[in-house]
Amino acid sequence: QADMAMYEAKRAGRPMGVFNAHAQINPQVVSLEADLHRALPQQELELHYQGIYRASGREPTAAEALLRWRHPVRGLVNPGEFIGLAETNGLIVPIGAWVLREACRQAAAWQAQRPGLSVNVNLSARQFWQPDLPDVVRDALRSSGLSPHLLTLEITESVLLDVPDAAQTLGALHALGVRLSLDDFGTGYSSLSYLHRLPLHGLKIDRSFIRDLGQAQGVAENIIRAVMLLAHTLNLHVTTEGIELETQAGFVEALGGDYLQGYLLARPLPAADFERQVLSPSPLAEQSDSTNSTAL
């Protein structure tokens, strides 16, 4: 039993402590899990979208799809509270397939308004254990009509570490024409060797480094500078997550960072609000809007 628990936690790419909290008979978690089984059939899941902006000119070029659970009693639940559970019990597989279909459908619909807008979808390591992942992605593209190059799949380093055939699956995904991006870069067990071996298009520097900008000794500054140099040497685009302040955006721009994402530019928004606030305004209106409304 304990071995199985360890195995499952490792597969889900989570620290053991998180699993143990679930393993105890905690009525809160048991009921959350029962509810989660109903979330997909009862259509309680929705996607919010956060703009990703080109650093030069600050134009939105992509939307990251972020999962939300509209629970009938608890209200809007963030992924931090249920993705780990869904990874452990396997529900992330059908949920992840739904996320892919829905994000591709939405991005295809947005082409009329904003041609070339791409969509980023997060994948769990658990989804890579399914041999049919490339088929699931291909079906989402086909049924939506979205061009493959407008879909970016975000993976974390845990995929590369925990999934035996990860490189092969990434090759199959790359062959479909989709883009691959390494999320939360710098927080995992970074190995420089896979950065040039795998068919990656870009990496996202984790927001903890952005948060630490301006602290004594300039450690975060140096790390960001070094990661950008490395990424650009390998022809990878760099996105910085968690940009909340104009000074952070300015620092990243000065270093030649390619894309910005964070509350300064836009928060994750329901699709209708994303259309109104991110896609509709003229570039000028959009800029003054985001500086006024998202100051923290």
Q: Which stretches of the chain bind Mg ion, using CB under 5 A?
A: 122, 154, 183-184, 241
Interatomic CA distance for residues 127 and 247, integer angstroms: 37
Q: How far is the CB of 285 from Mg ion (least distance, A)?
A: 27
Helix ranges restricted to H, 129-236: 133-144, 157-162, 166-175, 192-197, 207-211, 219-233
Kindly tell me which residue out of 244, 273, 275, 289 binds ligand C2E, with binding defined by CB under 6 A: 244
Q: Which two tokens stand for residue 284?
A: 């000028």
The answer to whether the CB of 43 falls within 8 A of the CB of 29 is: no
C-beta of 33 vs 244, nearer to Mg ion: 244
Q: How far is the CB of 73 from Mg ion (least distance, A)?
A: 27
The single residue listed with the structure tokens 């199985």 is 4
From the list ligand C2E, Mg ion, none, partner contacted by residue 66 (C-beta under 5 to 8 A by kind): ligand C2E
124 binding ligand C2E? (CB under 6 A): yes
Which stretch in 51-59, 91-99, 214-222, 230-238 sits in contact with ligand C2E by CB under 6 A? 91-99
Backbone angles phi, psi at 100, to 5 degrees: -60, -50
> Which of left, alpha, beta for 68 (phi over 0: left; psi -120 to 50: alpha)?
beta
Which stretch in 169-177, 190-198, 232-240, 260-268 sits in contact with ligand C2E by CB under 6 A? 260-268
From the list Mg ion, ligand C2E, none, partner contacted by residue 221 (C-beta under 5 to 8 A by kind): none
**Of 248, 249, 255, 261, nearest to 230 (Cα)?**
255
Kindly tell me which residue out of 78, 143, 215, 293 binds ligand C2E, with binding defined by CB under 6 A: 78
Q: How far is the CB of 264 from ligand C2E (least distance, A)?
A: 7
Interatomic CA distance for residues 291 and 296, integer angstroms: 10
**Of 232, 240, 231, nearest to 208 (Cα)?**
240
From the list ligand C2E, Mg ion, none, partner contacted by residue 244 (C-beta under 5 to 8 A by kind): ligand C2E
- Catalog residues that contact ligand C2E under the rule CB under 6 A: 50, 66-67, 78-80, 83, 92, 96, 99, 122-124, 154, 183-184, 207, 241-244, 261-263, 268
